[in-house]
Amino acid sequence: MLEFQNISIYRREKRILDDFNLKIPDGAIMGLLGSDSKAKSMILAAASGSQAPDYGQILLNGVSIYQGRSRSYQNFGYMPREYGFYDLLRVDEYFELFLSLYKVNGRYRQKRMEEVAELFGIRQYMSAFIMELPAEMLPFLCLAKTVLHDPEWLLLDEPFANLNSSSRNSMIKILLMLQEEGKSIVVNSQMFPETRDFFTDVALVEDGRVVVEGETEDIFETALKKSPVRMHVLAGLDEALEVLKMNTLVDRVTVDEKEVIFRFNGGEREEAELLTDLVASGAFIQKFMRDRVNIEEVFRR
Amino acid sequence: MINPFLKTEWLREGRNIRLPLMIIFYIAIMAFIMILFMVFNEESFQQGYYYDTTTYQYQFLIISTFQIITVLLLTPFTVSRLFIVDKEKNMLEQFEMVPGVSFQYVTAKIILVLAVHVLLFISGLPVSALSCIYTGISGVKLLRLGAMIFLYAFWSGAISIFFYTVCSKSVWAFASTFFVQLMFGIGTLMLTEVFRNGSLMMSDTGRIAPEIVAVCLILLAFNPLSSYMGFYGSITGDIGIFGTFCSHLGIDTSDKWFILLFYKVSSLACVLVGVLFLSLSVWYMDKRRRT
């Protein structure tokens, strides 16, 4: 388990993380959501060992990663938000640099390079210069470098930025394969349609703190309850309003001509029951739907 | 490999077209100086006179001075190529969590700077060796010239690496490097002169205070040109310009041990300054990682 305990980080006298606490279980794919991108990047940089916190500690399986630094860095693969490449290096030479830094030597080095090239489908590019690679390959190359030394934890800062939907899906596929191999993944990303089912856990970070955290399904269910229901009533508006008034789960009803908007604190079943009651009351309903869930916005509100 | 950056840096530098271009221009300028000298002394060649080697002595000195100046001018450019600042910083983020990486990174850069200048020296060796033969100077002086180039490349490379590590913009790093090099080269001379005149003005006896002489000697020792002037003097046979400057301070320079010691100390000071700037670069990289 990766645990952030009361982490505070100040940079240039500005507070980036403020008493930040988060527990990430082994094998999870944790999505860090929210508009505070500096804080989210800092969480990953701190966990990778490159940005020591001013206060608090980061524990990996109960041991501080800033103690006995010689070993802990090998447990993490860090993909920064902006990655640079040495254009005049070939892909295999670029990999070799990182493998040497992580002290992966001998016959295993070559084997590992081949494994990663196979996984990422870049075998044909291994002898190519980095500057010759197509631009859409570069995020994959950086991710490949991140997993080269076979770390337990992958810390990915905006890996899906600048990727189109198809590339995002390809990357998610690779990351899911890595998770199956037993890796835990922490991703700083905005919520894309593709990532909804990809994240097993999410944490919403705002102003350097965790606003909400938990399993993705639970968080979405909570968010769903918080998002308003829109109903378009063609006839029988009074009957419909009467039903809404009687239902204890309905809250904050607003009417705009034939459009009725209200909060509904029930789940899917309760929502179906309410709709049945509305129809039974004689209201002629053309549309009945929840607003699209944007969990970042819902929890920020 | 003990230092993985070394291979990477060497591959990057070796694959860059600028390195062969630099070598071509370097040899061309040296050959031009050599040919120019031959043209001006054509009679000795055409008529087969037994010529005076002291005339050609200056040919070797001009060529060696060109080589030294090239080191001081080219090193900041060489280092600037090694630090394409924005890209480099993005690269650094990817491995700065690895312990000891700052040291490896900085040492790889300085070794590459040294390698480039050794390569330039070797490529210019035929011209400087020919000049040595015309002059009648022993090959040991040629080796000493190589050592001087190595020393200056280390000194200038260390300063450049420090500023390219610290500055976020290449242009500032470049300007700072030149400014600091000028301060070591000309600033120390000016300060020495100021101290000397100040001491003379305040003294009733018309002599410079011994403490001021000691300070001036330290300042002169930190001037990187001092050691080259020692080399210059060893060829021309005089005490060298800095030896003359020491006489100007009222020091008895007739003692050959003083001159020898002074020039050796100035070479050592060059090395120490280089080591200091490299240590500062490593320290700054570690500090940046923490903060």
Write out pLDDT tens, residues A253-269: 888 888 899 888 887 78
- pLDDT bin (cut points 50, 70, 90) of residue B88 is low
Contact B11 A89 (CB under 8 A): yes
Do B5 and A97 lie within an 8 Å CB cutoff? yes
* Among the partner residues B16, B90, B97, nearest to A49 by beta-carbon distance: B97
SS3 category, B237: coil
Give how far Cα B123 sits from Cα of A75, B20, B115, B126, Å.
Answer: 47, 10, 12, 7
Which tokens belong to B7? 């291979």
Residue A41 CA, chain-centre distance (Å), reads: 12
Q: What are the residues of chain A with a beta carbon less than 8 Å away from any beta carbon of chain B?
A: 11, 45, 48-52, 69-70, 73, 76, 78-80, 82-86, 88-89, 93, 96-98, 100-102, 142, 145
Best B93, B104, B290 member to test A by mutation, with max A CBs in 10 Å, is: B93
Residues recorded for chain A: 301
Residue A6 pLDDT: 87
pLDDT value of residue B291 = 60
| Fold classification of A227-300 (topology level) | Alpha-Beta Plaits (3.30.70)
Task: Identify the pLDDT of residue B110.
Answer: 93
Cα distance between residue A110 and residue B127, in whole Å: 45
Using a CB-CB cut-off of 8 Å, the residues of chain B touching A106 are none
Nearest to B82 by CA among B61, B110, B104: B110
Which structure tokens are listed for B212? 């001021």
The pLDDT assigned to B201 comes to 83
Compute the nearest-CA separation of B106 from chain A (Å): 14
- The amino acid that residue A9 corresponds to is I
Contact status, residue A203 vs residue A210, Cβ threshold 8 Å: yes
- Domains in chain A: boundaries: 2-214, 227-300
Do B291 and A85 make contact, defined as CB atoms within 8 angstroms? no
Decide which of A126 and A295 is more confident.
A126
pLDDT band at residue B24 using 50, 70 and 90 as cut-offs: very high
Asked if the model's pLDDT at residue A252 lies above 80, the reply is yes
Helix axes B101-123, B139-166, angle to 10 degrees: 140
Q: How far apart are the first and last CA of chain B?
A: 30
Burial status of residue B19 (CB atoms within 10 A of its CB: 0-12, 13-18, 19 or more): middle
Q: What is the dihedral of CA A68, A74, A77, A83, to 10 degrees?
A: 80
Which structural domain range is residue B218 located in?
4-290
CA B96/CA A58 separation, integer angstroms: 18
Domain A2-214 has CATH 3.40.50.150: no
Q: Is the pLDDT of residue B258 over 90?
A: no
Q: How far is CA B53 from CA B50, B67, B133, in A?
A: 9, 21, 9
Where does residue A89 rank: exposed (0-12), middle (13-18), buried (19+ CB within 10 A)?
buried
- Give percent of chain A with pLDDT exceeding 90: 7
Q: How many domains does chain B have?
A: 1
pTM of the model: 0.79
For residues A36-42, average pLDDT: 86
Contact B94 A78 (CB under 8 A): yes
With contact defined as beta carbons under 8 Å apart, do A135 and A104 qualify?
no
- Cβ neighbours of B97 in A, within 8 Å: 48-50, 73, 76, 78
> CB under 8 Å to B128, separation ≥6 — which residues?
B30, B60, B63, B64, B67, B142, B145
Positive or negative, the Cα torsion across B231, B237, B241, B245?
A: positive
CB A203 within 8 A of CB A32: yes
Q: A11: which chain B residues are within 8 Å (Cβ-Cβ)?
A: 291
- Per DSSP, the three-state class of A33 is strand
Residues B104, A49: Cα–Cα separation, whole Å? 18
Rounded CA separation B284/B92 (Å)? 13
**A299 or A240, higher pLDDT:** A240
**Residue B32 CB neighbours (<10 A):** 12
Q: What is the mean pLDDT of chain A?
A: 85
* Beta strand ranges found along B184-271 (DSSP E): none
Interface test with A, best of B5, B97, B105 (most A CBs within 10 A): B97
Q: Chain A residues with CB inside 8 Å of B5's CB?
A: 97
Residue B242 reports pLDDT greater than 60: yes
Amino acid A204: pLDDT = 86
**Mean pLDDT along residues B30-47:** 76
* ipTM score: 0.76
Q: Is A143 helix (H, G, I), strand (E, B) or coil?
A: helix
User: Is A139's pLDDT higher than 80?
Assistant: yes
Side chain identity at residue B53, one-letter code: T
- Interhelix angle B53-82/B101-123, rounded to 10 degrees, is 150
